[in-house]
Amino acid sequence: MNKYIGLVSCLLLFSANVNALDLGVGLKAGTLGLGVDVSVALTKTINARIALTSVEIDSQNETVTVGDAGSEGDIDAVLDADYGANALLVDWYVFNGTFHVTAGMVKNNGKADFRGTLLSNVVIDGDPLSPSDLVGGSVGGQFSLGDSYQPYLGVGWGRKASSDPGLAFSVEIGVALLDPDAQLRATLDPGSINYANQPELQQTLDNAEADVEADLDEFELFPVLSFGVNYAF
């Protein structure tokens, strides 16, 4: 969040020296996190906007059960999560008032990194696996909600950058596409008697990644709702 505050401060200093620039700055909170947006008037009814949001999430310890039914094992995992988004948007104030239609591209930065240790023997897709089979007994991976910029469409109400200077509240409702991605890592120890099963283990991980991405695809349309305070210069 500090980097966003720094960005706003720089823009405020810049706007103070460029009188001809119609600039708006906002602080917002919503389903994409907490952050700032900066808008510049292109015409009397069209603004270009950059939005940046972020949420700090504390690390979590979780015990995850994996494996075939009747032969499950536990993984002691540490989960580090980040959440937020970057957006490149255009606002069209249709009636030259506070109502606007917004279109653009949003990259959802929500992701979770995990690292864990297999605690007990397990059977995965018929192949036995023990903690000693893995390098350090460890597994890891990353799940992300956005791997690239995706289309966004929404509507909202708020002061445009070309309005008379002043403070105003804003609200925005929209929908963005998700581009989920999953990556899982586990390496068999070369000294393990099961080392020859690395290709099968990798295929199992690939299948699990595909299953996770398919589950996330059910939420492909991500709802966006935000409330904020905007100031036009």
Q: What is the pLDDT of residues 136-151, one digit of tens each?
A: 778 888 888 888 899 9
- The residue among 40 and 122 whose pLDDT is bigger is 40
Distance set, CA 21 to CA 16, 35, 41 (Å): 9, 22, 8
Say what the pLDDT of residue 20 is: 56
pLDDT in tens, 72-109: 878 888 888 889 999 999 999 999 989 999 999 999 99
Q: How confident is the model at residue 14 (pLDDT cuts 50, 70, 90)?
A: very low
> Which two structure tokens, joined as six digits, stand for 171?
């609200």
Q: What is the pTM of this model?
A: 0.74
In this predicted structure, the answer to whether residue 163 has a pLDDT above a threshold of 80 is: no
Architecture of the domain spanning 2-232: Beta Barrel (2.40)
- As a residue count, the chain comes to 233
In this predicted structure, the answer to whether residue 17 has a pLDDT above a threshold of 50 is: no
In this predicted structure, the answer to whether residue 225 has a pLDDT above a threshold of 80 is: yes
Share of the chain above pLDDT 90, in %: 34
- The residue among 17 and 155 whose pLDDT is bigger is 155
